Amino acid sequence: QEICNTIQRKQGVTYDWQHEVLVTVGGSEAIDIGLRAMCNPGDEVLIPQPSYVSYEPCAVLAGATPVIIDLKAENEFRLTARELRDAITDKTKILVLPFPNNPTGSIMRRNELEAIAEVLRDTNIMVISDEIYSEMTYGGEKHVSIVEMDGMRERTIVVNGFSKTYAMTGWRLGYCAGPKPVIKQMLKLHQYCIMSSPTVSQYAAITALTKCRDDV
């Protein structure tokens, strides 16, 4: 419930806490089981790089084919609509959207995300939006999520967690929010492989979400 309250406050998007949110062992588990739940053998997963090291092997473990989009310094390592359009094939299943980006620090602004959303609207491509660094935007910039764009909530799994924002690295607590049919399948994988994310960490996270905003 507190995760849903936080997303509503920050992004203005509403999720059903009983059916559209899953608490995971770090954001990494959410990425792994999201790919496994949605990919069939031979599906292509678009991965902009440089980015977090686990996206590509997790796609391989899910039986998918990683397709790398090389981000360019002249674009400040942002993903452009043209780069996305050029990478899409009839086998494309998922776009991993790793912004704010590790390691480049690049962010995507609202108009840039709208251009990405415009490319995706005429497709069946799902998005895994890894927003674990969402609070680490500077210079007056506020984080914008692609789920804020029209038609994107229904096709996006938002991944976030507590390690970066709340200095809870090692507590192994993350979460994802997305469409009920996908979260339902991810929950099966989570329960059979993990059972539950750490209970002590979950209680700590409630305190983080409700009482630590000023500290962030």
pLDDT digits (tens, 9 = 90+) for 76-87: 999 999 999 999
What CA–CA distance (Å, rounded) separates 35 from 177? 14
pLDDT of residue 193: 92
Helix, strand, coil distribution of the chain in percent, nearest 5? 40, 15, 45
Q: Using the Cα atoms of residue 89, residue 92, residue 96 and residue 99 in order, give the sign of their dihedral.
A: positive
Our measurement of the distance from residue 154's CA atom to the centroid of its chain's CA atoms, rounded to an integer in Å, reads 14
Sequence-separated contacts (24+) of 102-107 with Cβ below 8 Å: 102/51, 102/52, 102/132, 102/133, 103/50, 103/51, 104/50, 104/71, 104/77, 106/71, 106/76, 106/77, 106/78, 107/78, 107/137, 107/141, 107/143
Residue range 154-166, pLDDT digits in tens: 999 999 999 999 9
Q: Encoding tokens for residue 96?
A: 């991993």
What CA–CA distance (Å, rounded) separates 35 from 39? 6
What CA–CA distance (Å, rounded) separates 59 from 47? 9
Residue 213 banded pLDDT, cuts 50, 70, 90: confident
Query: Global pTM?
Result: 0.96
Selection from 59, 66, 62, 73 nearest residue 101 by Cα: 73
pLDDT of residue 137: 87
Q: Are 121 and 88 in contact (CB under 8 A)?
A: no
pLDDT of residue 123: 97
